[in-house]
Amino acid sequence: MRQYSPVGGLRLRKVYFMDANKGYIAGDKIILKTINGGESWYELNTGVPHDFLDIAILDNHTLLAVGSWTGDGDASEAGGVVIRSRDSGRSWDEIIRNRWGDDPGRHFFTALQFINEQTGWMLGGTYMDNFNSTYLYETVDGGISWNIISEIPQPPVSRLSARSASSFWVGGFGGAVSTNQGLTWEKFDFTSPSDTIFTLPGNVILDFEQVSDYQMYALVCKLGGSDPRLVHTTDAAGSWRIESLPDSANPMHALDKYGGKVWMVGKDGVIFYTPNIVTGITNEYNNSNKIFVNLSVYPNPFNSVCNLKVRSNEEDFITLTIFNSLGEKVVDLENTTRIKDEHQVVFDPGSMKLPSGIYFVTLTTTENFKAAKLIYLK
């Protein structure tokens, strides 16, 4: 079924349902909301004329949206924006607003993903359509502050899926997967022996729906927006199968599944849904992850030893692992060690006769994953 939003003519970028009744759509200069399962939509007053590219639901009342500020045609005023609502969209606060004129390196923001009320990630780049590099940002305080944790190799990407704190999928003018919180990335394409025209380059990944660390659905199209296709992998992008997609689903930009329906939105304010055409996708809102963990390292850089301090709000098991700059495992400093509150470990590369250089430490718990770069100077 195809329906039109109350703002025909605008491009809708992302659709997300919190439960069977409540859903949100982010689009150019607009955010829409439904409280009746998509039967009708109404516009939220954000108070700012930004182009919103993604939206995230942190809890029953808190929302975050990211996108770009066009500057009304003045490139020096353009930049990225992050806004937040704590009352289900009735009012909004501006968290970040970059200005291109202040710093040409400031980023536009294109994608947003949270796994609990505090921990989330977003993508940023120096230009929204064809920026040279894409950066993965992380927040651990509900979107108030953000830090870059990874640079993603070309081609540029603008969609993000993070099912857990250790598994990221990104897509845009190409695709890549990381299973170690962005320390390393493995590129993938959609080459299919049964569909010779369906290859990269020349295709754009419009959106993802992640089922597990290895299973993913992707909505893709040819460059320019034609020939939309829904594809499915069960082996972490090693191979893809093409799913059927209704002819009327063109042109679409975003994909979501909830309540037995697959929802897509796109150009000219079009909102499209159909009875579930794929199996295995679940996007039920779940805020049960309540174990939060922090990792701090000091001094860094260091020339002798580095202290690794772990804090957890609940009793948990941790594993601390050191990798070298090639991504090769060096040592497990802790392996499934039970901790509560605070725990400290010393990394002494000298005692292991390790050369100076860049190392990475990863912290893995039952529900969280953290990573940090260490610089060892002799």
| 296-324 pLDDT tens trace | 899 999 999 999 998 887 777 788 889 88
Q: Do the beta carbons of residue 364 and residue 372 sit within 8 Å? A: no
Per DSSP, 177 falls in state E
3 state DSSP class of 216: strand
Q: Do the beta carbons of residue 318 and residue 310 sit within 8 Å? A: yes
Q: Would you say residue 297 lies in a domain?
A: yes
Q: Which domain-ending residue is among 275, 310, 337?
A: 275
Q: Would you say residue 52 lies in a domain?
A: yes
77 and 18 in a common domain: yes
CA distances from 197 to 135, 193, 221, 222, 249 (A): 30, 10, 11, 9, 19
316 and 187 in a common domain: no
3 state DSSP class of 90: coil
Top mean-pLDDT range of 19-23, 152-156, 168-172: 168-172
315 and 180 in a common domain: no
- Three-state secondary structure along 277-297? CCCCCCCCCCCCCCCCEEEEE
Q: Do the beta carbons of residue 10 and residue 256 sit within 8 Å? A: no
pLDDT at 243 over 50: yes
pLDDT > 70 fraction of the chain, expressed in percent and rounded: 70
Q: Would you say residue 288 lies in a domain?
A: no
- CATH code, domain with 307: 2.60.40.10
The reported pLDDT for the residue numbered 256 is: 66
The reported pLDDT for the residue numbered 9 is: 63
The Cα 253–Cα 12 span in angstroms is 7
- CATH code, domain with 78: 2.130.10.10
The reported pLDDT for the residue numbered 283 is: 39
The reported pLDDT for the residue numbered 128 is: 46
Q: How confident is the model at residue 376 (pLDDT cuts 50, 70, 90)?
A: very high
The reported pLDDT for the residue numbered 288 is: 39
178 and 61 in a common domain: yes
Please tell me the total count of domains within the chain: 2
Q: Which domain-ending residue is among 209, 241, 275?
A: 275
Higher pLDDT: 44 or 239? It is 44
Measured over the CA atoms of residue 3, residue 90, residue 115 and residue 29, the dihedral's sign is positive
3 state DSSP class of 162: strand
247 and 138 in a common domain: yes
Q: Which domain-ending residue is among 247, 275, 303?
A: 275
198 and 305 in a common domain: no
Q: What is the pLDDT of residues 249-287, one digit of tens each?
A: 555 556 665 555 667 676 666 666 665 444 443 333 333
The residues facing 359 across adjacent strands are 324, 374
Q: Would you say residue 255 lies in a domain?
A: yes
Q: Would you say residue 258 lies in a domain?
A: yes
271 and 337 in a common domain: no
Question: What is the span of the domain harbouring residue 316?
Answer: 293-376
What is the mean predicted confidence (pLDDT) over 76-85? 81
298 and 189 in a common domain: no
Label the pairing between strands 241-243 and 252-258: unpaired
The reported pLDDT for the residue numbered 194 is: 44
The reported pLDDT for the residue numbered 197 is: 38
318 and 247 in a common domain: no
DSSP 304-346: S-EEEEEEEEEEEEEEEEEEETTS-EEEEEEEEEEEEEEEEEE
Q: Would you say residue 280 lies in a domain?
A: no
The reported pLDDT for the residue numbered 55 is: 92
337 and 203 in a common domain: no
Q: What is the mean pLDDT of the chain?
A: 76
92 and 208 in a common domain: yes
What is the mean predicted confidence (pLDDT) over 94-102? 72
pLDDT at 349 over 70: yes
Other C-beta atoms closer than 10 Å to the C-beta of 323 total: 20
Q: How confident is the model at residue 337 (pLDDT cuts 50, 70, 90)?
A: confident
pLDDT at 124 over 90: no
The reported pLDDT for the residue numbered 64 is: 94
The Cα 53–Cα 25 span in angstroms is 9
Higher pLDDT: 150 or 208? It is 150
Q: How confident is the model at residue 39 (pLDDT cuts 50, 70, 90)?
A: confident
Q: Do the beta carbons of residue 278 and residue 230 sit within 8 Å? A: yes
Q: Would you say residue 11 lies in a domain?
A: yes
307 and 254 in a common domain: no
The reported pLDDT for the residue numbered 354 is: 94
CA distances from 41 to 49, 240, 263 (A): 19, 34, 14
Higher pLDDT: 337 or 291? It is 337
Q: Would you say residue 284 lies in a domain?
A: no
CA distances from 45 to 16, 94, 98, 191, 281 (A): 18, 13, 21, 43, 31
The reported pLDDT for the residue numbered 347 is: 94
Measured over the CA atoms of residue 139, residue 65, residue 209 and residue 175, the dihedral's sign is negative
